[in-house]
A and B are shown apart, each in its own frame.
Chain A
């Protein structure tokens, strides 16, 4: 995503926390999503089995990725889908533009795709004079508002009805202010309908790409995805290279996990399986289908067995919904495309630690994310890993910007801490000092931060060691 200003996490957080309306919108939306998810996964044994299955499918695919991608390309090509590869977002954007230009296209209608956000595709195409229209309702709203998505599944979740009503009134000509949800839907529908028929190119993401059949699966609720992939003469599907799975039979468990985790649905309203362009004799469907497979740093992650697990992600968004930090600050504060726990893990890997390493600090490691992730990504372990990579202690330092979050004072503090806690005698002295002067420490540094919302900790006059001695507890 092109950034206009350098990323200032602290400032973003402050701004988000001060926005009480944002807090309210997020809380009610996230509460609702969590309740729905819990209801659809009421059988905990079934969920445990499904998660294990989902994890296994994704891990298997990742362990054979080059082979499966080759198979996918061959199958797609045989089915008449044109496959393109891109290592960087620049290459990916160029590829999309070239296809548009070849067809003298001027308007792209887009289904929801986080990968296209990662590419910064809208900005890129608009800079090239192309018109791009988001057709997912949430994406449509934020496109009108000129904002990036704040959630990977519900991109306009930070806005409430009144705010949406105002955006529609301001941005769509001849639109009266209405808070009626049906009326708002009708306005969006009417505006979008006309465009579906004039767009020469439709773009969509891919939820799962099946290697054995060359099938592109697309999950959605509004039918706009189906419109984008069937009405315009050209359809471009974009996917990160981790989206491939081997077999068609592996899709149902993943689909169940995805819809249940994302929106608490047993199944979405639409599930599209795209296998080819329009065939001779068929009356509808695009004349050309393109599949663009993007790397953008993913293959580098593959080599590390721990980091690789971040590629299991099926972008369900439930780790965001359950994250106490995300729920309070929303997606924009994270400053990059992917917010929440998964963002803390993949953004530093994609963008480098120097730029994005601070994201890993936004977690109390409460493990709510790891507990709900449908494909069992150990998000808390990976957040810790990013912290280690940041201060220069990754297992082999394979994340770009390794050690760039290392600050001398902090390093010294931990060295001192380790010293005191390695040697029991030093520890005893330290505890003695704490009990004598700990309660009169100046409120600087960490203590100043602590006391912004709390009274200072109080140290006991006698330590547990002293009390244990007094009580004559055995040493061994």
Chain B
């Protein structure tokens, strides 16, 4: 996690791993990401066998259950295409935690090689595809929320923001406490609801202070948490996944 990774040349085909939250709650974000990848000239493969990266169980102490589910993903992405993931957290799970989860087991070598080809969506767009965007939308003020795993595990916060900054009429107003967790933490939000709520209140307060009309994020877990609290507090700021936002701005 300490050194910057080196990126491969542009491939012909990529796999897309949608994540379980995009699957059921934010499918439009997943579709937008896949369409943006297609616009880069890629063949986007969406294996139907995919489910969840396994992180919820892994973080809750149920490693065996996480392993069982991880095996389904390992089997779902057999070719050596890059695996693009519209979430820093799920990408971090597959890239950094799969090898840990399978350490000392027969699948270790396989997971290590698999981890090598896992990319978070914005880092892939920036570093592998060198994507450029033309903003067609009206002037808009947005703020950006980075998930902790995008920031500290995948270290792709700058990639996400670099993509946003390409959008000429979008003004990016940064949060005052950008590096602070929104309080989602998967099962943390239900195991420690009081602390989690206190954290998300502070996050949405920070968002409100920016005066932005939208909060853009690269992780649907955070979005679920943040927009849930914004709505709860009747703060009229909309939350959106970065892929969906870029798609909207470039196809207005």
Contact = CB atoms under 8 A, between A and B. Distances in A.
Nearest to A424: B49
Interface string A444-465: 0110011011111111101111
Given A387-B60, A422-B51, A454-B225, A462 B193 contact: no
Interface in A380-419: 381, 384, 386-391, 393, 405, 410-411, 414-415, 417-418
Given A371-B152, A464-B30, A454 B48 contact: no
A273 interface: no
The 7 residue pairs across chains A and B that have the minimum distance between CB atoms: A364-B185, A454-B228, A387-B61, A453-B197, A366-B181, A366-B148, A418-B65
Q: Which of A381, A386, A446, A450 has the most CB of B within 10 A?
A: A450
Given A363-B185, A364-B196, A454-B232, A384 B58 contact: yes
B195 A325 contact: yes
Contacts of B71: 422
Interface stretch (A93-101, A335-343, A467-475): A467-475
Interface in B37-69: 43-52, 54, 56-66, 68-69
B209 interface: no
Interface stretch (B18-26, B108-116, B118-126, B158-166): B18-26
A450 B193 contact: yes
Given A48-B2, A393-B62, A431-B24, A364 B100 contact: no
A328 B153 contact: no
Given A387-B61, A393-B61, A418-B57, A467 B25 contact: no
Contact of A473 (B22, B45, B76, B184): B45
Nearest to A428: B48
B229 A368 contact: no
Contacts of A411: 62
A105 interface: no
B34 interface: yes
A60 B217 CA distance: 42
B51 to A, nearest CB: 4
B232 A468 contact: no
A273 to B, nearest CB: 33
Nearest to B71: A422
A410 B200 CA distance: 25
Q: Is the interface of A mostly helix, strand, loop or mixed?
A: helix
Contacts of A422: 51, 68-69, 71-72
Interface string B192-229: 11111111110000000000000000000000110011
Interface residues of B, number: 75
20 contacts: A10-B194, A14-B194, A324-B181, A328-B198, A361-B191, A362-B192, A366-B148, A368-B148, A393-B62, A418-B66, A422-B72, A446-B187, A446-B190, A453-B197, A453-B229, A455-B231, A471-B31, A474-B45, A475-B46, A475-B48
Contact of A457 (B25, B51, B148, B153): B25
Given A422-B69, A427-B51, A467 B179 contact: no
Contact of A387 (B48, B59, B152): B59
Given A384-B61, A474-B45, A467 B196 contact: no
A364 B47 contact: no
Contact of B72 (A17, A368, A421): A421
B46 A438 contact: no
B188 A414 contact: no
A192 interface: no
Nearest to A386: B61
A77 B204 CA distance: 60
Interface string A10-26: 10011001000000000
B183 interface: yes
Interface string B1-37: 0100000000000001010101111111011001000
Nearest to B229: A454
A259 interface: no
A465 to B, nearest CB: 6
Q: Which of B30, B59, B62, B79 has the most CB of A within 10 A?
A: B62
B189 interface: yes
Q: Which of A389, A423, A473 has the most CB of B within 10 A?
A: A473
Given A328-B198, A474-B45, A367 B149 contact: yes
Contact of B179 (A364, A365, A368, A462): A368
Contacts of A463: 23-24, 27
Given A324-B199, A445-B190, A474-B44, 20 more contacts: A324-B181, A366-B148, A368-B180, A388-B62, A393-B64, A414-B65, A418-B65, A418-B66, A420-B51, A421-B20, A421-B54, A431-B23, A431-B24, A446-B187, A454-B200, A457-B224, A465-B23, A468-B46, A471-B34, A473-B45
A474 B43 contact: yes
Contact of B24 (A48, A417, A438, A475): A438
B157 to A, nearest CB: 13
Contacts of A445: 190
Given A393-B62, A473-B46, A367 B194 contact: no
A33 to B, nearest CB: 15
Interface string B225-245: 100110110000000000000
